[in-house]
Amino acid sequence: MRFLNPKTDFAFKKIFGSETSRDILISFLNAILGLDHPYLIQEVDILDPYLAPKIKGIKDTYLDIRVRDENGRSYIIEMQVLNVAGFEKRVLYNACKAYVNQIGRGEHYTELSEVIAITITDFVMFEELAGVQNRFRLRAEENPEIYHGDLELIFVELPKFRKTEELLESVYDKWLYFLKTAGDLKAIPLKLSDEQAIVHAFEIANKAGLTEEELEDQERREIYIQDQRGALQLAESRGMEKGIEKGKFEGKLEVVRRMLEKGMTMEEAVELAGLSADEVRELEK
C-alpha cells in the first residue's frame, strides 16, 4: 500500500474534512487537547463541508477545517507546510474572525463560545521552546494562573516530534506519528493498528482508492511544495550571505572611523581598510 502525505492540502482535507471523517476528528481533537472521560468530545459538526478542491497551480500553502462540538466550542484545524511571511498574524486573525462571527449585530455577547485554533506546522516555529506542542491564551501579567479561556491558539511543530514507532505510547503520539510519516509508509504500523480512527485515516489516505486525476493533483502539489521550500532556502541562504557581507562592510567602516579619530586622512583610512570605490561612496552619504 501507498498513502497520501497528510501534510499536503489535498490529503489533509480528504482525511480530516469529509463527512465520513467525524470519528477521525473526534479522536484527533481529544488527543491534541488532552481530554479524558468525562470531558471527551463525543460529537462534532464539520462546518461548511465540501470535497477537497482541485489543485490548480500555485495555491495557498495551508488548509483549515472548521469544526464545532456538542458544547458549542469552535475549532480551526490547520496544516501549514511552509513558513510564509505573516503566518503567525494570519493564525491569530482567523481565530479572532471565527470568534467574532459567532454573533450578528444586536445579539448578546454572552452567546459567544470558545474558539480553539489548532495549527500543525511542518517546520519549527518556536526554537526557544522545547515542546512539540505549545498553547497560548490571554493571561493576567500579574498572575498567569488567571486567563481568558475563550480564545486559545495551539501549535504543534512536527519536526520536534522524534519518537520512533517503538516509543509510541498515547493516542496523541500515534496521531503525530501518522501526520509525520504516513506519506512514507507502505503498511499500517502495528502500534497504530489498535486505534480505529487512525486506521480509518489510513484507509482514506490509501492511494489505491484515488482516481488518476487525484493522484496527479497530489503529485503536483508535493512538487510545488518542494519547489517552494527550495526557493525559501535559497532566499534564506542569499539573505545570510548579504548579512555576512553587510557585517564585513560595517566592520570596515568601524576601522575607518577609528583611523580618522587618530588623525588619518580619509584617503589613507579607506585604502588601509580595503574599501572599494562603491563602498567609499556609501561611506560619504
Question: Would you state the cell numbers that stand for residue 253, as one nine-digit string?
Answer: 567602516
Give 11's contacts (C-beta < 8 A, 6+ positions apart).
4, 5, 52, 183, 205, 218
Model pTM?
Answer: 0.71
Question: Would you state the cell numbers that stand for residue 142, as one nine-digit string?
Answer: 500579574
Specify the pairing of strand 62-69 against strand 44-46.
antiparallel
Tell me, rounded to whole angstroms, the distance of Cα 149 from its chain centroid: 22
Render each residue's pLDDT in the chain as its tens digit; 285 residues: 889 889 887 788 889 888 788 899 999 999 999 988 878 888 888 775 443 333 333 344 445 677 888 878 888 888 887 776 678 888 898 889 888 988 888 899 888 888 999 999 999 999 999 999 999 998 888 888 887 888 999 999 999 999 999 999 999 999 999 999 999 999 999 999 999 999 999 999 998 777 777 777 767 766 666 656 565 555 445 544 444 455 556 666 666 676 666 666 676 666 555 666 566 556 555
Task: Report the alpha-carbon distance of residue 247 to residue 237 in Å, rounded.
Answer: 15
Task: Report the alpha-carbon distance of residue 67 to residue 74 in Å, rounded.
Answer: 6
Please check whether residue 161 is in contact with residue 180, taking contact to mean a CB–CB distance below 8 angstroms.
yes
Q: Where are the domains of the chain?
A: 9-210
HSE-up of residue 272 (Cα within 13 Å, Cβ side): 14
- Cα distances (angstroms) measured from residue 31 to each of 161, 175, 201, 246: 15, 8, 15, 47
Tell me, rounded to whole angstroms, the distance of Cα 173 from its chain centroid: 18
Give 243's contacts (C-beta < 8 A, 6+ positions apart).
none
**Phi and psi at residue 57, in whole multiples of 5°?**
60, -135
Question: Would you state the cell numbers that stand for residue 215, as one nine-digit string?
Answer: 493522484
3-state DSSP: the chain helix, strand, coil percent, rounded to 5? Answer: 50, 15, 35
Give 114's contacts (C-beta < 8 A, 6+ positions apart).
72, 73, 74, 149, 150, 151, 152
Q: Which of 199, 151, 147, 209 is nearest to 178 (CA)?
A: 199
Q: Which of 158, 179, 212 is nearest to 4 (CA)?
A: 179
Task: Report the alpha-carbon distance of residue 118 to residue 65 in Å, rounded.
Answer: 10
Residue count (the chain) = 285
Q: Burial code of 172-203, b = ≥16 C-beta within 10 A, e = fewer?
A: bbbbbbbbbbbbebeebbebbeebebbebbbb
